[in-house]
Every structure is written in structure tokens, then in C-alpha cells.
Structure 1
């Protein structure tokens, strides 16, 4: 059996740390758990404490710290410290030895994790099959975070990358090439102009009261991503079945009333619309999961599956909707639970490098206001969502409240937060009978005196 530790390597590293003043960079990379031997963990803790205080940490200083603690001195004696200080250590090998210890430490964690997984698998009393999977995924996720490193970069290095990117984009513009061809867009011209861009790590919240069309709006966005931008999309639908979703997509793409698709009472022209829409959908990189009340672990699992089946390609995740998701821990505090979910969705966006669009319910209290247009505080359990989200949009259709509204057939997309863009209102045409939102014509803006749709 292969041993997942190396005592000689640990000794060489500790000797290097005590002998060479310039080893601070490597001390900062390591933790006590990277050492297998308990006595080495004790010694390293004192080395790191001295380093953090900006004080020296040779063999004499370290022994002085250890002998003042009876518990530690019972495990590490003076002769062992002196033995360590006599170990042959070469400065040029510190990096290699540290890398070896980090690797062995990670492998020990994996081995320990496998024991936990075995216990969970056999504990049929505490865990259902579903909760067992979630617990294992949580453990794996925590292991991921221990091996990820966050770098601190000199500003000149970051500046070099930024300027290089700017010059490359400028050159593409000069050559008549769209530099934003790979940037994700919603597919709505005025809305994209307002938002400027959707970054790969963005959490986008789409909030609305019932009947406003938030699911249809989200489906229109991911349909444009897949059909017109060739982006791979995962749609987590906690409310509708996959069949219902596809019916809506066919209605939208085929521009045929949804009720005709569902009832199958269409004529030959309608059949042609359905076949054309189906042909387009069959070529789309859209993946649908309709598990009710999905958890963060479910989303991570399905996202990994999509990436595996597409050789690493996943461009957007859509979640419908936030408030029916299963929280990581049921505390009974709905605000805390929703906060954990929104924070978890933001982490998923960062970890998978793709934006997450999450639909959200709004508080019923807005119905009691004369002006029923949503504002930030209307997001149900809103505190953490406002903080975690990069973009927050609301949908308002005046005809829902005013049957004789002059704005019937249109919707206001209210941008309440846009970290890199502009807040404000964008108007879109709607035909929910055909599951459609679309850009308004220039003539509409001229008639209404709206000046460019804002």
C-alpha cells in the first residue's frame, strides 16, 4: 500500500523554513494539516505564528516557544528540534518539497472523504438516497475549495492583461469584426444596450408577480442564447414539466398559439409551424431538468453532467424559480434559507464560469400600492438576493391590473440593478398566447415619444 506521507520531505521543509529567511512565500502557502506527523504540525504552527508576527523563527526560537507549552513539549523535545536543524536542506528544492507535501495532503483528504462516503452510504437511518447524494456532493465541494488557490497579482500584470484585451477588441473593430461575438446577450436589443454585457460569473434575478410572464421571458432569453448564439443552456424547471416547457418553446419558435399546440387542434399551416419549430429545437444545445424543488447540489450535479456530455461547454444556467428550491439546510428561517440559496447560486456561476438566471417571486404587498411597478424591496426574502445578484430585472405588464390599459400588449422590463450597466426601463412587445416577448418597432417608440425605448 502506498503511504500518503513523507517524513523526510516534511523534515526538509521544516528545516528550510527555520534556516532560510526568504522562505516566507512558501510558509504562507501551507497549513498545519499539510504535515502528516503531529510533531511536525506543532513545529509548523509556531513557525507560521512567528512569520505572521514578522519575527524570526530559527530552531532556537521555535524550541523556546514549544517548551513553554507542557502538552507540546511532551511530543516534541529539544533533541528532535536540534536533529531537524541539522537536516540537509537546499533553498532550490523548497518549491519541489512544498508541492509534494500539498499533493500528499490532498490525497489524504480524498482518502478520508472516501471513508465518510462509505459511512453515509451505509447509514440508511439518517439519510435517504437523495439526502445522501447531497451530503456527498457537499463534502466533495468542500474538498474542491481547499485545493483552489486565490492569487494576489501585481497591478502591472493585471494591467498588461486588460490592455492586451482592449487592444485586441479595438483591432477587431478596426477590421470589421464584432469583438463581442462571444459575449452573452439576452436577444433584446434595447435591453442588451442597457445591460452592456452579461459576464460569465453573473447572477441575474428576474422578478415578477404571477401572470407577468417571468417564465416566458426567461425561456425567450435562453432560446435566443441557444438558437441565435449557439450557447449551451441548462434549464432547471422546478415548476413545469419538460413537456410543458417544450410546448412553450414550440409555440414561441413556430409563432403558433400555445393552446393549439396543447390541444392539437391546428390546421396544415399550424402543422408546418410546429415541424419547423421542432426541427430548430432538435438542433439546440438546451438541456432540461424538471425535478421539483431542486437543490443547489442538484444544479451542480446536472451542470457537471452537461459539461461532461458537451466536452466542457456550458454557457448559462436558468433556474425557475428561486423560492421553491430546497435550501442547503432547513433552519425554519425563510430569509436565511433564501440567502443560502442565492449565495449558492452565485458560487455556482463562479465555479462553472457561466451566468445563472434565477426567477424570483415578489411580495404580495405590492398589490396594495397605487403604483404596482416592482422595486428592489419587493423581492421576497430580498436582503441577500439584492447583495448577491449582479443584475436584477422586474417585469411589469399594466394590462394585468388595468384591462383597458393603453399599454396592452407591451411589458416594462425594469432594471433595478446592473453592476456593469444602467438601471432604467426597457419596453418590449408581448404575446403570451404564443409565449413571446420581442423588441418593439421603431415606429412604436416614435408614436409614444419614448426616444429609443428607454
Structure 2
């Protein structure tokens, strides 16, 4: 087996740092004690970095004085060895090369250690279910990035410069008539006017009671993202099969009754609509996974696969639906389990830089109220969802409860929370027999005396 350390490289790095105090600061900040394999080298570097952080000298004389005052450290790094180390000839010009080698070896040691930890987790059938084992393994693997990625902490000065540059670039493009894409849109004009946009790290919750059309609504957004905005979408369907989802997509795009698509009983006009829908769908960058009760680990795994297939692109994830997902840990407390899932979905949005649109069931108790329009507290096991979500929308169709409703054929999209937009209600036309939500006509607003969404 190849040794994942090099004593000569570690010695060369330490000597360069002690011999050349001027100009070594940037190199010291790149390193940590764990980058060194030998315990005595970890001790030496610990004192080098400590002295540097205090703004004091860290040459060989000073470092030895620090070591010899600690009896335990002296056992590991004797005077004889330190004399040998400090007399090593090191070329400061090669320090960058030596550090790259040092970091490479330390990273490989971490990978080796994580692989052993994962093997232990895999064998521990008492402490971990297969799902929680996957979560733990993914957490361990993601932790490897800690030593090799750039810092997530930046000065406000740097952030301000970056944001100003982005604003000016977008302003210039708008002035030149060039389309500027910031975040994503739902595809519904009045709804987008209210929300402004869905940002790339947003968690969006769409809540509704059964038969309100939440799956159709989400699929309409997904199709607009893929067809009209050219975005790559991953659809995680824990409830419907991929074939059922495809039938709905064909019905909506081809404007053919879903019943005809499912029964295969359609006329020539229907056949033409199906063919047209299929041609559109075949060019859609949509990926569907229909595993029952998917976990956070499943979503992360499938998201990575999509990015591999698309050259790193993934612009939205749709999850249907939140309450049937498998929690990271089954505690028996549904509120805590759903809280873990909602926080996990928010983290996925941030980690992958794409919004997560998750559907949610609502409590049955709302049907006991005279006014059955949903409110925030109606989200089932709602505690953490309200906190984690950036946008929360509800779907209400009055005709579900009132068969003689004057609002038949329309739906209210109630925006209960919009971190960067406006709350309120937007009306959309519905034709669920053709799996469709769409913007209402200007004539409808004129008849109702409305200026768009309210």
C-alpha cells in the first residue's frame, strides 16, 4: 500500500516557515495541524501558527522555547530531533510546491479515514437503518470538502463590490435589451408579479387539501421552467408513477382531456395533440424519479446524477410531497421528523444552488371552518416549515366545497409568506380535466373590476 504521508515534505514545509518569517503568513493560513502526519510535526506547526496569530516571531529559536516548556510535547519532539529538523535545508521558493503535496496527502488520509468510518456505519445495523446510514455516509463525505473548498466567510467590502458589479452588469444588459435571468419564474404572470422571482436558494412550499390540484400546479410550473425558461428540473414523485406524471404532462401540453390520454380513446385531433406534446416533452430537460417515500439522501443522490448528465446544470427540484418523505431519523414525533425534512430540503436548495419546490398536505381541521381558505397554521406538522420556507403558497378552489360556486373554473393562489416578495392572493384559471392551470384573461379581470391579482 502506498504511504499517504511524506516526512521529508513535512520537514521542508516546517523549516521554510521557521526560516522565512517574512512572506510566510499566507502559507501558514492555508494549513492546519491535521495536514501533518507526524505528531511531532503537528506540535511544531501548532506553535508556528499560534505565534503567527499573536503577531509574534516564529523562528526555530522561539518555537523550541515554546516546546521545551511543555513536558508532554517534549516527549514527542525531543531536543535532538528538533535540532535535526531545524538544520534541514529547505528552499523557500519550493514551499508552494511542498504545500500542495502536503495538502494532497492529508486529503487522501481523510478520504481513507472516512471510508473506514462508512464501513463501520454500514455494518452497524442496530444504530442505523439503511436510510440513516446513507444520510450519515453522505454527511461524512460532504465533510471532506471542509479542507479543500474556499472559505464561506467574506468581508462585506468584497460582497458589496461583487453585488454592485452584478447590479451594474444586469442594468447594462437591460438597457441594451438583453434578457436578464435572475432566479426562476412560475410562468404565471400575476403570480410572478407578486413574488418578483424565486431565488436560487429558496425553499418553496405549496400547500393544499386533496383535489385542489397541487400536483398539477407544480407540474405546470415544472413544464414552464423546462419549456419556456430552458431550466433543468428534477421531479421527485413519491406518490405518482413516472407513467402517470407523463400522462398528465401530455394532457396539459396537448390540451387533451386526461381521461382520453389514460384510456387511449381519442380522435384524430387528439392524436395530433398527443404527438405535438410528445415532441415538446422529448426536448424537455426534465428528470423524473418516482421512488416511493424518497429520503433527503435520495434527493441529493439524484440531484448529483442530474448534474453529471447535464454538465453541472440543475435549476429546480420539485418534491411531491413533503409528508410522505422518509425522515433522516424516525423518532416517532411527526413534527420533529417533518422539521428535519424541511430543514434538509432548505439545505439542499442552498447546497445545489437551485430552488426546491415541495408540496405539502394541509390539516383536515380547516374543513370545519366556515371560511376554508388555508392559513399558515393549516400546514400539517407545520412548526419548522413556516420557519424554513422562503415562500409558502396555498391553493383554494371554491367549487370543491360549493358546487354552485360562481368561481368555478378558477383557483386562488394564496401567498402566505414571501420573504422577498408580496403576500396576497392571485387568481388562476383551472382545467384539471386537462391538467392545466393558466393565467386568467384580461376580460375576467375587467368583469370582476380587478386590476390583476389581488
When normalised by structure 2's length, the TM-score is 0.88
**Offset at 1:185?**
1.4
CA deviations over 1:304-333 (Å, ceiling 9, x no partner): 222222222222111111121112222333
Distance in 2 (CA, whole Å) between partners of 1:421 and 1:341 is: 24
Secondary structure at the counterpart of residue 430 of structure 1 = strand
The number of aligned residues is 453
* Structure 1, 33-42 or 184-193: larger mean CA deviation: 33-42
Q: CA deviation at 1:223?
A: 0.9
The alpha-carbon deviation at position 249 of structure 1 amounts to 1.2
Q: Which runs of 5+ in 2 are unaligned?
A: none
Deviation at 1:345, TM superposition (A): 1.7
**CA distance in structure 2 between the partners assigned to 1:124 and 1:340 by the alignment:** 22
Q: For structure 1, list consecutive stretches of 5 or more residues without a partner in the other structure.
A: none
Partner-residue secondary structure (3-state), 1:167: helix
Which deviations, in whole Å up to 9, do the C-alpha atoms of 1:16-38 show, x marking residues without a partner?
A: 55562664444443332211112
Does residue 253 of structure 2 align to residue 253 of structure 1?
yes
1:391 paired residue number: 391
Give the Cα separation in 2 of the matches to 1:395 and 1:445.
19
Structure 2 vs 1, CA of residues 54 and 118 (structure 1 numbering), >3 Å: closer, same or farther?
same
Deviation at 1:86, TM superposition (A): 4.3
Show the counterpart of 2:408: 408
* CA displacement at 1:224 relative to structure 2: 0.9
3-state DSSP class of the match of 1:207? strand
Match of 1:103 in 2: 104
Confirm or deny that 1:114 pairs with 2:109. Answer: no
Q: Distance in 1 between matches of 2:338 and 2:65?
A: 50
Residues 144 and 360 (structure 1), Cα distance of their counterparts in 2 relative to 1, 3 Å cut: farther
Cα gap change, 1:379/1:246 in structure 2, threshold over 3 Å: closer, same or farther?
A: same
**1:316-361, CA deviations, whole angstroms, 9 ceiling, x for partnerless residues?**
1111111211122223333332222222222222232222111122
Q: CA deviation at 1:288?
A: 0.8
Aligned 8 A contact 2:132 2:329 in 1 = no
Work out whether 1:313 is the aligned partner of 2:313.
yes
Q: 1:234 to 1:39 in 2, by over 3 A?
A: same
Distance 1:199 1:91, change over 3 A: farther
SS in 2 for 1:74: helix
Per the alignment, in what secondary structure is the counterpart of residue 76 of structure 2?
A: coil
Structure-2 change in CA distance of 1:38 and 1:310 (3 Å): same
- Counterparts of 1:335 and 1:81 in 2: how far apart (Å)? 58
1:178 CA displacement: 1.9
- Is this contact kept in 2: 1:185–1:198, CA < 8 A? yes
State the match for 1:429 in structure 2.
429
Partner in structure 2 of residue 177 of structure 1: 178
Are 1:148 and 2:149 matched, yes or no? Answer: yes
Aligned to 2:217: 217
Partner of 1:290: 290
- Distance, in Å, in 1 between the alignment partners of 2:186 and 2:12 is 56
Give me the whole-angstrom Cα distance separating, in 2, the residues matched to 1:131 and 1:308.
Answer: 24
2:39 pairs with 1:74: no
Q: Residue deviations 1:188-228, cap 9 Å, x none?
A: 01111222222222222212222221111100000111122
Residue 439 of structure 2 aligns with which residue?
A: 439
- Which secondary structure state, in structure 1, belongs to the residue aligned with residue 399 of structure 2? helix
Match of 2:348 in 1: 348
Match of 2:237 in 1: 237
SS in 2 for 1:192: helix
CA distance in 1, matches of 2:405, 2:70: 79
- Paired residues of 1:203 and 1:349 also in contact (CA < 8 A): yes
TM score, norm. by length of structure 1: 0.88
Instruction: Give the equivalent residue in structure 2 for 1:137.
Output: 138
The answer to whether the 8 A contact 2:4-2:106 is kept is: yes
Distance (whole Å) between structure 1 residues aligned to residue 126 and residue 333 of structure 2: 26
State which drifts further: 246-255 or 38-47. 38-47
Q: How many Å separate the matches in 2 of 1:336 and 1:422?
A: 29
Match of residue 324 from structure 1: 324
Within 2, Cα distance between the matches of 1:425 and 1:106?
A: 52
For the aligned residue pairs, the C-alpha RMSD in angstroms reads: 3.0
The separation in 2 between residues aligned to 1:400 and 1:341, in whole angstroms, is: 30
> Can you list the C-alpha shifts for 1:395-453, whole angstroms capped at 9, x where unaligned?
22222333333322222212222233222222111122221111111121122222122
CA distance in 2, matches of 1:173, 1:377: 41
CA distance in 1, matches of 2:94, 2:205: 50
